[in-house]
Structure 1
Amino acid sequence: MTHMPRLGITLGDPRGIGPEVTAAALSSFSGMDGIEAVLVGPRSLGEVEDHLEGVPRETVGDWDPTGGERLAGLLSGRAIERAVAMARTGEIDGIVTAPISKTALRAAGYAHPGHTEFLQELAGAHEVTMMMSAERTPLGGPLRLALLTAHLPLRDVPSVLNVDLFARRSRIAIEALRAWWGIERPRLAFAGLNPHAGEGGLFGDEEIEVFAPALARLAADPGVEILGIFPGDTVFLKALSGEADLVVTPYHDVGLAVLKTIAMNEGVNVTAGLPFPRTSPDHGTAMDIAGRGIADPGAMRAAIDLCARFCAARVAAG
């Protein structure tokens, strides 16, 4: 009998579009398309509750709109904590997280800058790599990214991005491509840090001093194809044309600006390096449109699809 993936879906900030895109995404599944969903979050979500009726729920408290930012952050944080606890005990196979507000999380007393760092600590993972995926794009093939640094001020990136970190986080992404995406020999292209990938040191030497030796380490693995270092303004064409399975980027926006421009409603955030799959729609809380019935559930649907695919791959691998 085939194992049906059981996904824990955290509902995110109750003031945002997380609950409604979750409801819409789940309603679009035919017979849940071979998955089981467990909602993790607060009760009392107003009109959205009617659309979530019948889906199993792990409650973490009651939402009261008068509670404001702090209560929203507290309930968001509790949902993440509960979902990770369920994943670690095997109650669920993977986690899909709806968007949270980082400022609300901070107002509730949580010090983590975002989901990625919070999940890493709760799961006891030594190191993780933030990945992004749009398995369907209007410009050709899929676009998958690995971010060597994530929620970090741009001015700090050059000092943090050393050879060891570069190689470690790239390897985490490579392993995710093998284990979760089923790509046995991944092909990687690397976005340079500087204009024109440094132009031989003319516009910066990180590509020579950091990138080159890190790529040499990675190339020692015969199960990886290193395509090289390319300027950040052209490297993504390698993926969209089908030449690369992954583009590794040195900082947050150089990759996400491209993915969100061409595949906003298909983009999925993946945390590689956790002991269980975790995905999330690659958009924010969008509080300005919450409750108006116009939020596109496409990215949430894609996140659920991808998490289920990863869980199935884990089961198949034993």
Structure 2
Amino acid sequence: MSGLSPTIAVTTGDPAGIGPDICLRLLDDARAPHFGARIVVLADRSLLAERSAALNLTVSLRDWNPSLPAQPGTLDVLHLPLSAAARPGCLDPANAPYVLALLDRALAGCLSGEFAAMVTAPVHKGVINDAGIPFSGHTEYLAERTGTRRVVMMLAGGGLRVALVTTHLPLKDVPAAVTRTAVDQTLRILHREMGQKYGIPRPRILVAGLNPHAGEGGYLGREEIEVITPVLDHLRSELGMTLLGPLPADTMFSPPVLARGDCVLAMYHDQGLTALKYASFGHGINVTLGLPIIRTSVDHGTALELAGSGQADPGSLFVAIEQAIAMAGRGRSLQG
């Protein structure tokens, strides 16, 4: 990365979904902010041209060239070819390699310093698996590709920041995955990254219990007593972390409790993200903590029924790009 303006790579996600639509709106939508950074969209150029025509948008597309200055009203495109023809709303496993190629190219650029961060539009996990490629999500994929042993999924929006100990697991598998090691490592990453990415070096972390009423003193489960509390006690003693909990998840998202913390750690996906998406859906973002790069994402799915309709809301993408730029700025300050 060179110069004063960071370059942010934006992947367009599944070509059948709304990813191409919302990326095109970076120039068209009246709400699109002036980001103060170079934005390069990774996509098949013909796909963007076709989708632009279908949406009746007038968008100028230019092949990405980092040596050229930004041009107002022009979208810089790093062209990667589709594997098969794409139609809005029609998933095709044949394009799974294309979707992953977008991620791999953005990741390579971030690791090399070509890009300051990557922002991802939604992919469809099911169709990638239908192509015979095991895939449980962006978070897990990027962790594997970077050799990162543990990453943390955190969503932010609506005044909330909610991180997760476990991510995309069947509910029946969650208790076994909530181990002392998992809770300990997640809290260490969350504590560190709140300082590095959000400028809060001593965050107050609200920690949920796993069971209803945080186990009710052992009557509704013993994970709080045997797993979570010992980890919290150890980290308070060892690192001086400010950790409140384990707290009952059904009351943790009440305003008086939230006022006591800077972020929340939930034990599993729906425990934490139901409240956050209620508060921020369409304008929240996903942040992957623990990677050697900066990665943010929209907080919604491919919305196949909206693809090509002109009804997709790009608000979450705008926020994800703004936050990626802010995080990149903090990273440069720390390096300086």
Distance 1:41 1:2 in 2: 25
Partner of 2:59: 51
Give the C-alpha shift of residue 107 in structure 1.
2.9
- Identify if the C-alpha distance between structure 1 residues 241 and 68 changes in structure 2 by more than 3 Å, giving closer, same or farther: closer
Distance 1:218 1:26 in 2: 46
Partner of 1:65: 86
- Identify if the C-alpha distance between structure 1 residues 182 and 7 changes in structure 2 by more than 3 Å, giving closer, same or farther: same
Give the C-alpha shift of residue 306 in structure 1.
0.8
Distance 1:60 1:93 in 2: 20
Equivalence map 1:257-272=2 (5 Å): 257-272=274-289
Give the C-alpha shift of residue 44 in structure 1.
2.0
Give the C-alpha shift of residue 170 in structure 1.
1.4
The TM-score, its normalising length taken from structure 2, stands at 0.87
Give the C-alpha shift of residue 132 in structure 1.
0.8
Partner of 1:21: 22
- Where structure 2 has 5 or more consecutive residues not aligned to the other structure, the ranges are 62-73
What letter matches 1:174 in structure 2? H
Partner of 1:281: 298
Taking only the aligned residue pairs, the percentage that are identical comes to 37
Partner of 1:39: 41
Distance 2:263 2:91 in 1: 40
* Counterpart among 149, 154, 163 of residue 126 in structure 1: 149
Deviations 1:237-286 (A, max 9, x none): 25884321111000001111111111102211111011111000100000
Maintained 8 Å contact 1:238/1:244:
no
Give the C-alpha shift of residue 59 in structure 1.
1.7
Give the C-alpha shift of residue 64 in structure 1.
1.2
* Counterpart among 203, 207, 212 of residue 195 in structure 1: 212
Give the C-alpha shift of residue 68 in structure 1.
5.0
Range that drifts further, 152-161 or 58-67:
58-67
* Counterpart among 155, 174, 177 of residue 194 in structure 2: 177
Give the C-alpha shift of residue 26 in structure 1.
4.9
- Identify if the C-alpha distance between structure 1 residues 226 and 52 changes in structure 2 by more than 3 Å, giving closer, same or farther: farther
Range that drifts further, 3-12 or 18-27:
18-27
Distance 2:147 2:241 in 1: 27
Distance 2:255 2:194 in 1: 17
2:237 aligned with 1:235: no
What letter matches 2:80 in structure 1? V
Distance 2:278 2:225 in 1: 30
- Identify if the C-alpha distance between structure 1 residues 68 and 163 changes in structure 2 by more than 3 Å, giving closer, same or farther: closer
Deviations 1:21-74 (A, max 9, x none): 1222454444x4211111112232213275362322222213512795123322
Deviations 1:46-105 (A, max 9, x none): 132753623222222135127951233221111001111111111101000000011222
Deviations 1:183-220 (A, max 9, x none): 01100111111111111011111111111011112213
2:13 aligned with 1:12: yes
Give the C-alpha shift of residue 233 in structure 1.
0.8
The TM-score, its normalising length taken from structure 1, stands at 0.92
RMSD: 2.0
* Counterpart among 208, 221, 234 of residue 217 in structure 1: 234
Give the C-alpha shift of residue 309 in structure 1.
0.8
Distance 2:329 2:126 in 1: 35
Maintained 8 Å contact 1:96/1:280:
yes
Maintained 8 Å contact 1:26/1:301:
no
Give the C-alpha shift of residue 313 in structure 1.
0.6
Distance 1:147 1:3 in 2: 34
Range that drifts further, 67-76 or 181-190:
67-76
Maintained 8 Å contact 2:152/2:189:
yes
Maintained 8 Å contact 1:15/1:72:
no
Partner of 1:250: 267
Choose 1 or 2 for highest CA Rg: 2
Maintained 8 Å contact 1:163/1:211:
yes
Equivalence map 1:69-80=2 (5 Å): 69-80=92-103
Partner of 1:114: 137
- Identify if the C-alpha distance between structure 1 residues 202 and 129 changes in structure 2 by more than 3 Å, giving closer, same or farther: same
What letter matches 2:104 in structure 1? E
- Identify if the C-alpha distance between structure 1 residues 59 and 240 changes in structure 2 by more than 3 Å, giving closer, same or farther: farther
What letter matches 1:268 in structure 2? I
- Identify if the C-alpha distance between structure 1 residues 267 and 221 changes in structure 2 by more than 3 Å, giving closer, same or farther: farther
